[in-house]
Amino acid sequence: MIRGVGASSGIAMGQAFVIPTWEWDFPEKMIDVTDLAYEFERLYDGIRHSKDELELIKQEIKEVVGQEQAYIFDAHLAILEDPIFMNEIQGIIELQYKAAEVAVKEVIDKFVGMFNLIDDEYMKERALDIKDVGNRLLKHLLGDTSTTVPPIDHPYILVAKELTPSQLAHLDPTNVLGLLTILGGTHSHVSIMARAMSVPYVLGLEGKLLRPIQNGDFLIIDGQEGTLYINPDKLTIERYQARKKNWLEFKESLQEIADVAPLTLDKSLVNLHANINSVMEIDQVLRNGASGVGLFRTEYLYMDRDSLPSEEEQFEVYRHAAIQLKGRPIVIRTLDIGGDKKLDYMPLAKEDNPFLGYRAIRISLDRSDLFMTQIRAILRASHFGNVKIMYPMVTSLDEVRQAKSYLERAKLELSALGVPYNANIEVGLTIEVPAAAIIADVLASEVNFMSIGTNDLVQYVLAVDRMNENIAHLYNPYHPAVIRLLKTVIDAGKRAGIPVGVCGEMAGDIRALPIWLGLGIEELSISVQTLLQVKHRLLSSDAATCKSLVDRILLCRTSDEIIELLAQTEQLEQTESIVGGN
């Protein structure tokens, strides 16, 4: 068994089809000054054909997995229109008298090399986008009609060093059992597409294979666990066949509980909200019976475009979401960029520690023009539904008061214009920084609700970058310090009489559910894909029993002790379920 990183859940079993590592190799071709016009015509013709192809792919992807994933190809189209990228190519043709394909390859190599030097997953993803777009343009310039993914008429697990969105878009989804790449990231465009297509995906295998995978090797990949088996024995195959069958049957049965109220066995209500990046996901939110939207990540409105979204544009998106939810709450988080999320048109200064730097509410308070535009849009949308506003990465009372002062100013501006809004809109904040967790009692006195952002809180408490492969094993949400700090925040909310919710990966981890029930959490905001799985366990859990369990967990000295207690509880629940069903 080889352990990589799971990027899209599910089990795939089948023969490997390996895409060979492939690079362009052609001689450097010079042109005469009299050929400049013709060379530019070739370049522009190649760009037109590339754009036409991308528009077609975008439409095909939209029909298969929806608008949310189709936006990826807007980023590719934007590269072909990027003035810096195009000026570099044109400059090489015009000043160095090199053929268009030579100029394109030089610029691709330059930008890809530059971005790959930066230790940042987002920038490496941009490098892959540029490579993908550049290769498409080169194919047109060279008249190459071949494909890097030959058509295969039987089911297979695709194996590659790295995979681009274009390659994935060209695959026949009926034959793709799973994906396996040596490189890649869980937040990459390919990972996003794989999850949307429900294709199991395991990545991060660099340096872990004893020999290269060959065409025809029988593979088992588990996208949940991030594991790979190459030519496993009969017992392993039979074990995974049974697991896959059980999982598919279980997944199908979950839809039956979509409309069931999220109550524990002893009738404790826990609202299960969904996290979304786009209004396009709301249909699935409603289909899976979510209580509302607990986190609308608005930064995706700002990404993969050339300029900031206007107030009107944002208002229409927020309004549409509020109307679609028909009175269910929607918590709109203000812009959370910086760290691993960047905007091409709003470059931020290079920082040694971007996750500890200029990001989230710090940018909003510094850029009042940007902040006020978003707040006005959210306020206007609040007239059309149960809209709430939430500030990310707050660390002090001063920041909360500053943000609230901008909100009051926006209210006055809208009132002066006679624009309707909910004057009593609820205001909340995310607890992601240890400082905020420690003074949660102080912050709670200023807001209507708080939401614990577990991803950042855990990595800040433990001083562990969860994206750093060398220390990723130290990222442990079940560390006793994390559990104790969670209790501090939740207790502060109870004393202040305001609800405390939880978002992030830990919120959707079924294993952690007894902790949330035991600590008295009444709201979880989780991915729409895992919502029904969490509800399934919630319906068979007893809140009072979980309270006793948490009392024991708080006495644990290691994460192993905590995980063992949780495992025993899960085993006991399963046994009682079997006994109760007989």
How far apart are alpha carbons 268 and 538 in whole angstroms? 10
What's the pLDDT tens digit per position in 115-153? 877 766 666 777 888 888 888 899 889 887 655 565 667
Q: Is residue 276 classed exposed, middle or buried when 0-12, 13-18 and 19+ CB atoms within 10 A define those classes? A: buried
Alpha helices in 418-512 (DSSP H): 434-438, 440-444, 454-462, 480-496
User: CA-CA distances (angstroms) from residue 361 to 318, 354, 371, 398, 453?
Assistant: 19, 14, 9, 12, 14
Q: What is the mean pLDDT of residues 140-167?
A: 79
* Residues marked as catalytic: 189, 503
Position 304 scores a pLDDT of 65
23 a known binding residue? no
> What integer pLDDT is reported at residue 582 of this predicted model?
44
pLDDT band at 560 (very low <50, low <70, confident <90, very high): very high
Asked whether residue 359 is marked as a ligand-binding residue, the answer is: no
- What is the DSSP code (8-state) at residue 255? G
Please report, rounded to a whole number, the percentage of residues in the chain having pLDDT higher than 90: 59
| pLDDT tens sequence across 179-194 | 999 988 776 778 877 8
40-97: per-residue pLDDT in tens?
999 999 999 999 988 888 777 766 655 555 666 777 888 888 888 899 999 999 999 9
Confidence of residue 331 (pLDDT cuts 50, 70, 90): very high
Q: Does the pLDDT at position 31 exceed 50?
A: yes
pLDDT recorded at residue 60 = 72
Rounded CA-CA distance 5/3 in Å is 7
Domains 156-253 and 258-581 share a fold: no
CA distance 125 to 7: 15
Lowest mean pLDDT among 125-139, 148-162, 209-223, 229-243: 148-162
- E strands, 322-373, in order: 330-333
Residues 6 or more apart in contact with residue 460 via CB below 8 angstroms: 432, 433, 434
Least confident range from 111-115, 117-121, 173-177, 536-540: namely 117-121
Question: Residue 493: is its pLDDT beyond 90?
Answer: yes
Mean pLDDT of 545-570: 94
Write down the pLDDT at residue 291. 97
Residue 408 CB neighbour total at 10 angstroms: 10
The rounded percent of the chain whose pLDDT value lies above 70 is: 90
Strand partners, 66: none
Domain regions of the chain by residue span: 23-142, 156-253, 258-581
Question: CATH for 156-253, among 3.40.50.2300, 3.30.300.30, 3.50.30.10, 3.30.420.140?
Answer: 3.50.30.10
- Which own/partner pairs from 34-39 qualify as long-range (CB within 8 Å, at least 24 positions apart)? 36/93, 36/94, 36/97, 39/93, 39/99, 39/100
Classify domain 258-581 at the CATH class level.
alpha beta
Residues 421 and 379: beta-carbon distance below 8 Å: yes
CA distance 200 to 222: 7
pLDDT at 77: 85
Q: What is the DSSP letter of 427?
A: E
> Do residues 16 and 213 touch, judged by C-beta distance below 8 A?
yes
Q: Which is nearest to 440 in space by CA: 395, 403, 390? A: 395
- Say if residue 126 carries a ligand binding annotation: no
Residue 455 is assigned to a ligand binding site: yes
Element (H, E) at 451: strand 449-453
Is 297 labeled as ligand-binding? Answer: yes
CA triplet 352, 356, 357: central angle to 5 degrees?
70
Contact between 120 and 139 (Cβ < 8 Å):
no
Mean residue pLDDT across the chain: 88
Fold of 23-142: Enzyme I; Chain A, domain 2 (1.10.274)
State if pTM tops 0.85.
no
Question: Is the pLDDT reported for residue 172 higher than 50?
Answer: yes
pLDDT for 237: 96
pLDDT tens-place string over residues 359-413? 899 999 999 999 999 999 999 999 999 999 999 999 999 999 999 999 999 999 9
